[in-house]
């Protein structure tokens, strides 16, 4: 394939490309049966070096619903990594069998490294505490569904802003849409990384930082909750101290806008009480379904199997 495109971070797609991808995803949501054979004869390799339920199943289900097939592993100890193979060699090898690769890895930058060696598109399904661009596509489709726009929004991101890769990808991506404001809600120890704040400052994007969820809620159009990322902590005591810093309970939504939405990439640990689930503003379980549809659109676009894909 000439001119192979990858998705390693949301910035790899232009705003125009993102728009057309979301349109394609929307048509799939409305008539999934039309796409049931589009990937017939194609193989997706899913290489999960780190645990996952949603993302792996979401990609697998997306490919199967497109009529394609899936190979891969979810435990690196059963792959040649256990024999000492480099990820570069694994990428080269797997791309001889598969048409597209999805990789999750605990180390930042691994997906990018693999993309340099693979002979097919590579999708980053999460690299350490760095980026998670397909969760962002999921989030964008969810926001479009409920808010009908990606502009003029005030978004509160709450929880582990330091290690939360879904948050890093979402904030970087939304910073390209006009009049989007951010409220960064975290304990002092888990603040948004400086490199992200620097890029917002450069773009003149408005944000403020707080550790007070209740104070922030009334202004928000979207509240994006996240769990404290236990696996990125060196010190378990520190994790135990911070893990329940924020718990969204139903009464805290009393001061929220009636049409605010509560999102979460899941898995949830303790940061959203289950009594919030029945509130019409809680959309995190619907978000999961949008994730599958947007991944169907992404696979079709990277494989150039849909005429509406505008990936150059
Ligand atoms: C997220 C991840 O893996 O970063 N999960 C997901 O893909 N939906 C969020 C998390 O693990 O907290």
Q: In this structure, is the dihedral angle defined by the CA atoms of residues 56, 19, 304 and 286, taken in order, positive or negative?
A: positive
pLDDT reading at 234 higher than 60 = yes
Sheet holding 222-225, edge to edge: 207-210, 180-185, 153-158, 222-225, 261-263
pLDDT value at 81 more than 90? no
Rg (CA), the chain: 19
Residue nearest to atom 8 of ligand 1 (CA): 265
Task: Output the pLDDT for position 307.
Answer: 82
87 CB within 6 A, ligand 1: no
Ligand 1, atom 1, lies closest to the CA of 265
Would the pLDDT of 218 be above 90? yes
Residue 76 tokens, joined: 């690196």
**Rounded to whole angstroms, how far apart are CA atoms 93 and 182?**
42
Mutate which of 56, 123, 135 for ligand 1 pocket (most atoms within 8 A of beta carbon): 135
pLDDT at 2: 58
Mean pLDDT score of the chain:
95
pLDDT of residue 225: 98
| Ligand 1 near 264 CB (within 6 A) | no
Q: 240-249: per-residue pLDDT in tens?
A: 999 999 999 9
Q: Is the pLDDT of residue 97 over 80?
A: yes
Burial, 55: exposed, middle or buried (Cβ in 10 Å; 0-12, 13-18, 19+)?
Answer: buried
d(CA 167, CA 235): 22
Q: What is the pLDDT of residue 64?
A: 98
- Number of the ligand 1 atom closest to the C-alpha atom of 54: 8
Q: Report the SS3 class of residue 167.
A: helix
Structure tokens at 261: 């939405």
Give the model confidence (pLDDT) of 159-207 as tens digits.
Answer: 999 999 999 999 999 999 999 999 999 999 999 999 999 999 999 999 9
d(Cα 273, Cα 79) in Å, to the nearest integer?
38
Mean pLDDT value across residues 244-265: 97
For the record, the structure tokens of 147 come out as: 């808010």
Say how many Å lie between the CA of residue 51 and the centre of ligand 1: 10
Q: Are 191 and 204 in contact (CB under 8 A)?
A: no
Contact partners, residue 122, CB within 8 Å, separation at least 6:
6, 7, 8, 91, 100, 101, 102, 103, 111, 114, 115
Percent of the chain surpassing pLDDT 70 = 99
Residue whose CA is closest, atom 7 of ligand 1?
Answer: 55
Distance 265 CA to ligand 1 centre (A): 6
* Range with the poorest average pLDDT among 40-49, 167-176, 195-204, 227-236: 227-236
Which pLDDT score, from 0 to 100, does residue 104 have? Answer: 97
Q: Mean pLDDT throughout 141-145?
A: 98
CA 277–ligand 1 middle distance (angstroms): 19
The alpha carbon of 1 and the centre of ligand 1 are apart by a number of angstroms equal to 31
Q: Is 185 helix (H, G, I), strand (E, B) or coil?
A: strand
Task: Report the pLDDT value the prediction gives residue 51, as an integer from 0 to 100.
Answer: 85
Q: Catalogue the active-site residues.
A: 54-55, 83, 104, 132
**Atom from ligand 1 closest to the CA of residue 55:** 7
The predicted structure's pLDDT at residue 308: 76
| Ligand 1 touching residue 6 (CB < 6 A) | no
Q: Is 105 in the pocket of ligand 1 (CB under 6 A)?
A: no
Buried residues in 226-253 as b, exposed as e (16+ CB within 10 A) = bbbbeeebeeeeebeebbebbebeeebb
């Amino acid at each position: 394939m000439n001119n192979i495109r990858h998705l390693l971070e949301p910035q790899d797609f232009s705003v125009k490309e993102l728009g057309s991808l979301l349109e394609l995803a929307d048509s799939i949501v409305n008539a999934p049966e039309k796409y049931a054979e589009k990937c017939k004869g194609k193989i997706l390799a899913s290489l999960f070096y780190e645990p996952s339920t949603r993302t792996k199943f979401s990609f697998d289900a997306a490919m199967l619903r497109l009529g394609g097939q899936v190979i891969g592993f979810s435990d690196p100890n059963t792959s040649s990594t256990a024999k000492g193979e480099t990820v570069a060699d694994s990428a080269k090898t797997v791309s001889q069998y598969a048409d597209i690769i999805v990789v999750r890895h605990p180390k930042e930058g691994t997906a990018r490294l693999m993309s340099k060696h693979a002979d097919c598109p590579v999708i980053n399904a999460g690299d350490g505490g760095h980026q998670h661009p397909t969760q962002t596509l999921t989030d964008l489709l969810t926001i479009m569904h409920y808010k009908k726009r990606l502009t003029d929004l005030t978004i509160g991101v709450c929880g582990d802003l330091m290690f939360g890769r879904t948050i890093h990808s979402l904030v970087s991506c939304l910073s390209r849409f006009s009049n989007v404001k951010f409220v960064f809600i975290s304990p002092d120890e888990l603040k948004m990384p400086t490199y992200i704040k620097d890029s917002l400052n450069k773009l003149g994007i408005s944000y403020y930082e707080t550790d007070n969820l209740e104070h922030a809620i009334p202004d928000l159009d979207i509240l994006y909750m996240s769990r404290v990322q236990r696996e990125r902590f060196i010190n378990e005591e520190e994790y135990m101290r911070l893990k329940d810093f924020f718990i969204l309970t139903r009464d805290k939504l009393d001061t929220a806008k009636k049409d605010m939405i509560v999102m979460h990439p899941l898995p949830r640990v303790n940061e959203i009480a289950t009594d919030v689930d029945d509130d019409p503003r809680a959309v995190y379980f619907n978000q999961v379904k949008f994730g599958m549809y947007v991944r169907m659109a992404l696979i079709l676009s990277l494989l150039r199997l849909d005429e509406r894909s505008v990936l150059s």
